[in-house]
């Protein structure tokens, strides 16, 4: 390493072992959470339509959550947005989702 590299900021410091392990465990936990939530959405498919309506979801919401997210993405965020959208629209109208 040359002195000019240090003064120009061309050398980037590497992460410590602890920081690298923290990042790796964070990524693994994120993947595990996404896989667990996919399994939970499969359990939601076993509910009937009236039970899904009670929690502000439809069968289309469940299938859209699974098909729009990639394998390692968490599909539950899509369901949360769908339920919130349904709650907002039903608060202003008498129609149910």
Q: Whole-model pTM?
A: 0.61
Q: Residue 24: which domain range?
A: 16-41+51-68
Evaluate whether residue 62 is within a structural domain.
yes
State how many domains the chain has: 1
Q: How far apart are CA 81 and CA 95, in angstroms?
A: 18
Evaluate whether residue 1 is within a structural domain.
no
DSSP 16: P
Evaluate whether residue 35 is within a structural domain.
yes
Evaluate whether residue 22 is within a structural domain.
yes
Contact (Cβ atoms closer than 8 angstroms) between residue 87 and residue 96 = no
Q: What is the pLDDT of residues 51-94, one digit of tens each?
A: 998 888 889 999 998 888 887 788 888 888 888 888 887 766 65
DSSP 71: T
């Amino acid at each position: 390493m040359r002195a000019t590299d240090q003064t120009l900021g061309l050398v980037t410091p590497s992460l410590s072992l602890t920081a690298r392990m923290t990042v790796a465990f964070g990524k693994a936990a994120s993947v595990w959470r996404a896989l667990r939530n996919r399994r939970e959405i499969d359990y939601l498919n076993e509910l009937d339509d009236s039970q899904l309506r009670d929690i502000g979801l439809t069968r289309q919401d469940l299938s859209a959550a699974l098909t729009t997210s990639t394998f390692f993405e968490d599909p539950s965020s899509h369901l949360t947005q769908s339920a919130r959208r349904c709650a907002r629209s039903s608060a202003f109208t008498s129609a149910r989702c």
